[in-house]
Amino acid sequence: MSVNIDVRKVESPEADEIYISGAPVRRAPVKDQWQEIFAGIRKVLVSSEGHILQERIFAAESAIDSAYKKRLEEYGDIDDGVSPSFLICQEGLSGSIGGVQVHAVRCENKPDVIDFQGSLCGRVVKVPGRRYLTLSNISGSKTGSDVEQAEAMLKNSELILKRYNSDFLDVPRTWMWLGDILGWYSRFNEVRNRFFTGRGIITAGGVQRLPASTGIGLAPAGKGSCAMDLVAVLEPADSIKYLPSAGRQHCAFEYGSAFSRATEAMMPAAKAVFISGTASIDINGATTNVGNPLGQIKETIENVRAILRDMHCTDNNVVQAISYCKTAEVEGVFEEYKGDLNWPWMTVVCDICRPELLFEVEITATSSA
């Protein structure tokens, strides 16, 4: 086998959640790797009676077309028509495929599909007393400036949420996929800050109900500067816990980036702890260990573990983890360092939001506590 399929399952009387991470472990023909990944995911979903809530596919541009084809071939009747987020990364140590992440659910009610302007882009799932929404690959017009596209992306997400009597105050987690991130990240932050201020998420009094988030240098496949994924808790209302500061890091908004370090929300089977993209940054927002890949990797992982401790979680609670490495050389340092840290790792090579940042980690953890 040239790939690894990691499965983490959380069970409750109301639902099961299945977190699947499929990634190459060695170089092999791209079509063979895709076949193994998608066939492995299908096997897990069928055996667990699970339905996809969200899915992300990370690959170099040269491997994207074959991902579309192999996914359709292998998934067959489990494909509900909602497109995953196809995200363009650079080639890594195992070749042109970063991997596939799936969050799925088994419950009494099959998720309903969301159609927005003729595109199937998300799902709504109900369990007793609770209701959730996921969106994938939401973008705006792909012809305007990067700022105009970011504004449209956020507004389109808001329009979909409003259909379900919801808004961004119900969103514990976002992912911002930003092509050429180093060329316009500051402008993106300005757009997001204005949008959140206009919706009362950021107030003059300093109250912040900001989602956990990742903003990373991965372009959505096809034309366009940006796209986003999100998770929303439709019911019960006002059930999200926000941690603007957590672990060893202060509030990111203090240096202009509108996200919480972590959030906690009750999901279909258990509480989820969403830890934002985290890097080697000190309490004042300055990059540390500049030019030192191993130093950045060690500090980043300790920063994440500090947040886990704040949330009463351990390494065993981690159900999804992505390491973003600036180059394949940084990936090599990480592979040597991570050792037996048993997180369900997926490694993606791409730019991070600052030129000097070499490494970033995001995780999802679950806990019934």
Query: How does pLDDT run across 97-115, given as a tens digit for each residue?
Result: 999 999 999 999 999 999 9
Over pLDDT 70: what percentage of the chain? 98
Sorted by sequence, the CB contacts under 8 Å of residue 341 that are 6+ apart come out as: 301, 315
The pLDDT assigned to 369 comes to 52
Average pLDDT, the chain: 94
**Would you tell me the crossing angle of helices 30-48 and 61-75 to the nearest 10 degrees?**
40
pLDDT at 203 over 90: no
The pLDDT assigned to 207 comes to 60
pLDDT at 339 over 90: no
Query: How does pLDDT run across 289-316, given as a tens digit for each residue?
Result: 999 999 999 999 999 999 999 999 999 9
Q: How confident is the model at residue 155 (pLDDT cuts 50, 70, 90)?
A: very high
Q: What's the rounded mean pLDDT across residues 7-23?
A: 97
pLDDT at 205 over 80: no
Q: What's this model's pTM, rounded to 2 decimal places? A: 0.96
Position with higher pLDDT, 245 vs 61: 61
Q: What's the rounded mean pLDDT across residues 151-174?
A: 97
The pLDDT assigned to 5 comes to 98
Position with higher pLDDT, 74 vs 339: 74
Over pLDDT 90: what percentage of the chain? 86
Q: What's the rounded mean pLDDT across residues 74-98?
A: 97
The pLDDT assigned to 216 comes to 98
The pLDDT assigned to 187 comes to 96
The domains of the chain, with CATH numbers, are: 3-367 (3.30.1330.40)
Assess whether the previous peptide bond of 211 is cis (omega < 30° from 0).
no
Q: How confident is the model at residue 206 (pLDDT cuts 50, 70, 90)?
A: low
The pLDDT assigned to 47 comes to 98
pLDDT at 175 over 70: yes
Query: How does pLDDT run across 237-295, given as a tens digit for each residue?
Result: 889 999 877 777 777 777 778 889 999 999 999 999 999 999 999 888 899 999 999 99
Q: What's the rounded mean pLDDT across residues 222-250?
A: 88
Q: Return the closest-CA partner of residue 24 out of 65, 67, 54.
A: 67
* Cα radius of gyration (the chain): 19
Q: Return the closest-CA partner of residue 125 out of 17, 34, 19, 20.
A: 17
